[in-house]
A and B are shown apart, each in its own frame.
Chain A
Amino acid sequence: NAGVTQTPKFQVLKTGQSMTLQCAQDMNHNSMYWYRQDPGMGLRLIYYSASEGTTDKGEVPNGYNVSRLNKREFSLRLESAAPSQTSVYFCASSYDRGTEAFFGQGTRLTVV
């Protein structure tokens, strides 16, 4: 049972490049989340999807877009990467809104 799988694990982008972070869960969870983790700031919610077909902004959505492709997959897109988006990105899922979340191993993104 893989749980929450994120790809890629590491990525280096140049300023202005675009990329999509992929996330898939195999636990039949309804809710999915994208967070970024920066030193001293904890995890900040970028976007979340309470159920298939819905997405909502979190605390720091600027510069990002998301797609809830189906129940299993929730992708995060950076259209024009900026150095301020250098961070570790975590995808998570939970059975229902507000219940405990299960996390992927993270994507370490560096924008130069």
Chain B
Amino acid sequence: AQSVTQLGSHVSVSEGALVLLRCNYSSSVPPYLFWYVQYPNQGLQLLLKYTSAATLVKGINGFEAEFKKSETSFHLTKPSAHMSDAAEYFCAVSAIYNQGGKLIFGQGTELSVKP
């Protein structure tokens, strides 16, 4: 079965500092991996996705993530945080060839950005 673990339910950074949100996955077959962002009282919006092409994936708003099979990780980074990045971030995993393609989410990491 697939699962996702996000390390740290809350992360706080200063504006202009590096953002690093951690995600580790478990999957018995090659996974598809996603990062979503949720702003207050809104639905989820896709930031980026990994679907077995390039291991370094670039997304919207300057975010990127690197798929590391040996570490079963898919950490999200941004070189310089902006106040508008404050939101909740979710990592998700799916496997097209297994379990009907269920999309399973981690518990989320709330990002705070200090001025």
Contact = CB atoms under 8 A, between A and B. Distances in A.
B94 A43 contact: no
A97 B104 contact: no
Contacts of B103: 33, 45, 48, 92, 94, 98, 101
Nearest to B42: A105
A40 interface: yes
Contacts of A98: 32, 94-96, 101, 103
Interface centre among A4, A99, A106 (most CB of B within 10 A): A99
B53 to A, nearest CB: 13
Interface string B17-32: 0000000000000001
Interface residues of A, number: 29
User: Chain B: interface residue count, which band?
Assistant: 20 to 34
A43 B90 contact: yes
B43 A40 contact: no
Interface in A1-60: 4, 31, 33, 35, 40-45, 48, 50, 56, 58-59
Interface of A: 4, 31, 33, 35, 40-45, 48, 50, 56, 58-59, 90, 92, 94, 96-106
Given A43-B44, A43-B108, A48-B100, 17 more contacts: A44-B105, A45-B102, A48-B103, A56-B100, A90-B43, A96-B101, A98-B32, A98-B94, A99-B51, A99-B96, A101-B34, A101-B46, A101-B103, A103-B45, A104-B43, A105-B42, A105-B43
